[in-house]
Amino acid sequence: MDAARLIGRRFLQLALVLLLVSFFTFSLVRILPGDPMSTIIPFGTSAQRSALKHDLGLDKPFLQQYVNYVGVPGLQSKGTSGILQGDLGRKYSTRQPVTTFLKQSLPISIQLVLYAQILALVIAIPLGVLAAYRAGSRSDRAINTTSFAFLAIPNFVLALLLAYFVGARLKWFPTAGYEPGWLDPLFDPTRHFTFDHFRYMTLPVITLAVGQVAIYMRLLRSDMIATLQENFITMAKAKGISNRRILFRHALRPSSLTLLTVAGLNIGTLIGGAVVVEVIFGVPGMGEKIYQAIVAREYVELQSYVLVIAALFVTVNFIVDFLYIVLDPRIRRAGSSA
């Protein structure tokens, strides 16, 4: 299949999925029985509640509400703005726009996930190469067993352990809180970079990364074991190239693409894991905001957060697919011969 067509189709798929996700979250909120009005104004009269309902546009028909929510120009009700206009709704309780909270919390989660990904790869790649190089040996088995064990530790247990032992007892790192980093000022100019940012992020990042190290390491290991059996490796060795060069220059390359795609997919897992890590470590990112929105029954806020996260995740995967099509010569070759 032609690369360009593949990319084009993928892009359409992305758009369709996003649309469906928005419809899904929107519907969930609307079909929920119960009255959000009594959440906002518990002491209000029923006349006040009807007025508020009208103000919020919640008395319109279902499909019209959805159209308003998306903000389709031409079809939306007068005076409303939707996603396409950048309006992600307002909190019930304080009427503050959801985008305010997004601006504060999104860069935090992005940095958290990014650092965790980098840390996991930095640890996993050397370990994986080592394990593949010494396949079958004691060190290989040791690495395998340890990583298998780490896979079985739930991330919330690890978070609690780190928070207590490293944070409260050894006092090396703070157990909770956050200071802005390099990405925050880009989203919200009132925030400024602080070096303390890294101290606050250390324990949450380690918690998230540990779970992924095992996965990447094993992937790399099995991938490289197979690669190391191929002819071109034997050739290189015959040519007298050093083991280190073979490992890192020649054998690692084909596997790196796979690693990249898995890393991209894993963003979803990391985002999910970030929820509980953020709550335990008091990091005010998207995960924590989602949790707060759920407990406070702020459903409009919740549906916007879910949509943004889904959009991010789908976009990352789209980029991964794009890179894969572009970078892997075998695909291109296979594609052009098909």
Partner 1 sequence: MPGHPVGLRAPGQPGNGEVLVDQDRRSRPRTRWGSVVAVVTLLATAFVSAGVVAAPAGAATAGPKPGGEVRFGLEGETTGGYCLWSSQLAISGIQVVSAVYDTLTSPNTKGKYVPNLAESVTPNADSTEWTIKVRPNIKFQNGEPLNADAVKLNIDQWLKGTLFAFVFNNIDHTDKVDDLTVKVTTKTPWPAFPAYLFLVGRAGIMAPAQINDTTNCTSNLIGTGPFKLDSWKVNESLTVSKNPNYWKKDAKGNQLPYLDKITFVPVVDAPTRDNQLIGGQLDMLHTSSAQSIDKFRKTSGYDTVTEPPGNRDVHYYMLNTAQAPFNNADARRAIAEALNIKQINQIRNKGLFQVTNSVIDSKAQGYVKNNGLPKYNPTDAKALVEKVKAANGGKFDVTFLTTDDTESLAEVQLLAEQVQKVGMSPNLSQVNQAQLINTALAGKFSVMVWRNFHSDPEFGDAANYVWWSKTSPINFPRIDDPAMQTALVDGRSAADADADYVTMNKEMGAGQYIIPGWFVDWTIVSKGVKGILGAPLPDGSQPRFMYGRIPVDALYKTK
Partner 2 sequence: MPAVPPDDSRVPGPGEGTEGSGSDLARFAEDSLTPGMAVGQSQLYLTAVMTDGKSRSRRLSLGAWLAIGWLGVIVALAVLAQLGLLPLKDPNQSFTSCARLGPFAKEGSASGHLLGCDSNGRDMMSRLIFGAWSSILVSTGAVALGFVVGGVLGMLAGYFGGKVDTVLTSVFNVFLSIPGVILALALVAFLQGAADNTGGQHGIDPKFILVLALGIVSIPLLGRITRASALTWSQREFVTAARAQGAKPLRIMLREVLPNVLPAMLSIALLGIAVAMVAEGTLSILGVGVKPPTPSWGNIIGSERSSLADSPHMIFEPALCIFFTVLSLNFLGDVVRARLDVRESSV
Asked whether position 168 contacts partner 2 by CB under 8 A, the answer is yes
Binding residue for partner 1 (CB under 8 A) from 176, 186, 226, 235? 176
Count of positions on this chain that bind partner 1 (CB under 8 A): 38
Residues 199-228 that bind partner 1 (CB under 8 A): 199, 202
What are φ and ψ of residue 311, in 5° steps? -60, -45
Q: Give the per-residue contact string, 101-120, with partner 1 (x = CB under 8 A; - = no).
A: x--x----------------
Min CB(173)–partner 1 separation in Å:
8
Judged by beta carbon, residue 265 or residue 294, the one nearer partner 1 is 294
**CA-CA distance, 90 to 300, in Å (whole number)?**
7
Binding residue for partner 2 (CB under 8 A) from 219, 233, 236, 241? 219
| Separation in Å, CA 13 to CA 60, 69, 75, 242, 288 | 30, 21, 24, 46, 30
Min CB(185)–partner 2 separation in Å:
27
**CA-CA distance, 85 to 326, in Å (whole number)?**
33
Judged by beta carbon, residue 56 or residue 271, the one nearer partner 2 is 271
Min CB(170)–partner 1 separation in Å:
8
Asked whether position 206 contacts partner 2 by CB under 8 A, the answer is no
Asked whether position 97 contacts partner 2 by CB under 8 A, the answer is no
**CA-CA distance, 119 to 202, in Å (whole number)?**
10
Residues 125-144 that bind partner 2 (CB under 8 A): 135-136, 144
* Half-sphere exposure of residue 90: CA atoms within 13 angstroms, side-chain side: 12
If 0-12 CB within 10 Å is exposed, 13-18 middle and 19+ buried, where does residue 80 land?
middle
**CA-CA distance, 58 to 74, in Å (whole number)?**
20
